[in-house]
Amino acid sequence: MAFVVAIDGPAGSGKGTITKLVGKKMGLINIDTGAMYRCVALECLNRNILPEELEKIEKVLEEIDIRFKRDDEKEIVFLNGNDVTGQIRSTIVNSNVAKFAAIKIIRDKMTPIQREMGKQADIIMEGRDIGTVVFPDADVKIFLDCSIEERANRRFKQNQEKGIKCTYEEVLESIKERHKLETEREVAPFVQAEDAIYVDSTKLTIEEVVKKIVEIIEEKRKSINK
Ligand code: DC
């Protein structure tokens, strides 16, 4: 296994932005596993497949091809050859993805693909089950947390910037609902790995969190000489 950093945390903890910045600073390839679950959900939604239609989902999983392309500034996600970078962040995907991500056959397909990525290069992988299921032996495990109110606050501000109409209370409710689905599901529930280092981003700026995580990784890397 190459050098693997696992970052698990809830939506709105700043995980995506922070993982990208840390990866860039430390020469680690950044892998966003949430984008993979988002692609599966998008493909099922496009084909009008419901989460309970497991046979149809199985077929989707046989046919699906997810690829990441990176340049200096951004990451582009391709689903069966089409750029879906924007579509996988749409409101419809946001509100349905947790139901698809809870399905065992979907996780059983994604987990080995994610493990394979860790064999090929030094990586920083973000998700919900990276330190618990995908890489229980990761070199560094971080659990990046944030209060639910602050997460709703950040999402509400993002929506306002994008011109999406909603109230703070609606955003808070939807975050609570997703959190419940993710933490209470039977397969790979979102929990902190016992040996993960807990970082709370609630009162920190992005730069402060990046600095903290870089320090943790540097120290570990030195100690294991990898
Ligand atoms: O991190 P995100 O919001 O883009 O994740 C999208 C969905 O996928 C969300 O419902 C959590 C789920 N997910 C997961 O179950 N396991 C992962 N490793 C990554 C994401």
134 Cβ neighbours under 8 A, 6+ residues apart: 6, 33, 111, 114, 115, 118, 125, 127
Is the pLDDT assigned to residue 1 strictly greater than 80? no
**pLDDT at site 216:** 97
- 225/138: higher pLDDT: 138
* Cβ atoms within 10 Å of 130's Cβ, excluding its own: 30
Please write the tens of the pLDDT for every residue from 5-27: 999 999 889 899 999 999 999 99
**pLDDT at site 191:** 94
**pLDDT at site 123:** 96
Ligand 1 atom 15 nearest Cα:
101
**pLDDT at site 205:** 94
Alpha helices in 66-167 (DSSP H): 91-101, 104-120, 148-162
**pLDDT at site 225:** 81
Please write the tens of the pLDDT for every residue from 127-173: 999 999 999 999 999 999 999 999 999 989 988 998 888 899 999 99
Ligand 1 atom 10 nearest Cα:
98
Judge if the beta carbon of residue 101 lies within 6 A of ligand 1: yes
Q: What is the mean pLDDT of the chain?
A: 94
**pLDDT at site 136:** 97
Q: What SS3 string covers 155-193?
A: HHHHHHHHCCCCCHHHHHHHHHHHHHHHHHCCCCCCCCC
Determine the Cα–Cα distance for residues 103 and 6; give it in Å rounded to an integer: 22
Please write the tens of the pLDDT for every residue from 66-122: 999 987 678 899 999 999 999 999 989 988 999 999 999 999 999 999 999 988 899
Judge if the beta carbon of residue 129 lies within 6 A of ligand 1: yes
Is the pLDDT assigned to residue 213 strictly greater than 90? yes
Determine the Cα–Cα distance for residues 59 and 204; give it in Å rounded to an integer: 44
Is the pLDDT assigned to residue 29 strictly greater than 90? yes
Centre of ligand 1 to C-alpha 133, Å, is 14
The domain ranges of the chain are: 4-225
Judge if the beta carbon of residue 6 lies within 6 A of ligand 1: no
| 34, 37, 43, 44: CA torsion to nearest 10 | -140
Is the pLDDT assigned to residue 45 strictly greater than 90? yes
Determine the Cα–Cα distance for residues 175 and 180; give it in Å rounded to an integer: 9
CATH number of 4-225: 3.40.50.300
Mutate to test the pocket of ligand 1, among 97, 99, 132, 177 (most ligand atoms within 8 A of CB): 97
**pLDDT at site 217:** 97
Judge if the beta carbon of residue 144 lies within 6 A of ligand 1: no
Centre of ligand 1 to C-alpha 225, Å, is 31
106 Cβ neighbours under 8 A, 6+ residues apart: 37, 40, 57, 61, 100
Atom of ligand 1 nearest to the CA of 130: 18
Ligand 1 atom 7 nearest Cα:
34
Q: Which range has the worst mean pLDDT, 51-60, 113-122, 212-221?
A: 113-122
**pLDDT at site 6:** 98
**pLDDT at site 158:** 85
Determine the Cα–Cα distance for residues 45 and 42; give it in Å rounded to an integer: 5
Judge if the beta carbon of residue 128 lies within 6 A of ligand 1: yes
Centre of ligand 1 to C-alpha 223, Å, is 31
Ligand 1 atom 3 nearest Cα:
11
